[in-house]
Amino acid sequence: MSLEIKTIAVLGAGTMGHGIAGQAARFGCTVVLNDVDDARVQKGLEGIRGVFQTGVAKGKLAAADAEAALARIRLDTSIESAVAGADLIVEAVPEQMDLKRELFARVEAAAPAHAVLGSNTSSLSITEIAAATKSPQRVVGLHFFNPVAVMPLLEIVRGEHTSADTLAAVRAFG
């Protein structure tokens, strides 16, 4: 049985992170947007608001739908509390292997056992990132394209140990 993804934690509130968070919320997911401090998560939320305002102005998004999506987003500066209830965790931090490996080990320790651990990397090895965890079968690449709200593309990258259940869950999510 495949996991249904309803709650997402996005780690990194920059351009890609807030784009992923905004679109996940727009399409009905509960989202926790995380970054290292309040200023960064607030800036990420403002980025989401800006994308939604543009969508409303262009007639591509109803104002009520934008408000409902914003209501589904929670901001958090603690990785542990951000991932605590997540079905899917997507990291969107800088493209540095050591940083990603350290983050995945930390996330795995705090995340629910069922949670999928996704990386938005566009170039780093998913297998190498997953090696920092005790459950590499839960790790997958989820490469969103920029800008997320405009580019309806999601590259799913299987690591050497990514399970069929993990792939099925992220395909359904995508």
How is 92-111 classified by DSSP, letter by letter?
---S-HHHHHHHHHHHHHHS
Helices 63-71, 15-26: crossing angle, 10 deg rounding: 110
Task: Supply the residues annotated as catalytic.
Answer: 143
Three-state SS across 42-83? HHHHHHHHHHHHHHHHCCCCCHHHHHHHHHCEEEECCHHHHH
Torsion of CA 44, 47, 48, 49, to 10 degrees: 120
> Nearest to residue 122, comparing CAs of 101, 97, 99, 105?
97
> Nearest to residue 142, comparing CAs of 23, 2, 26?
23
**Whole-angstrom distance, CA of residue 144 vs CA of residue 91:** 11
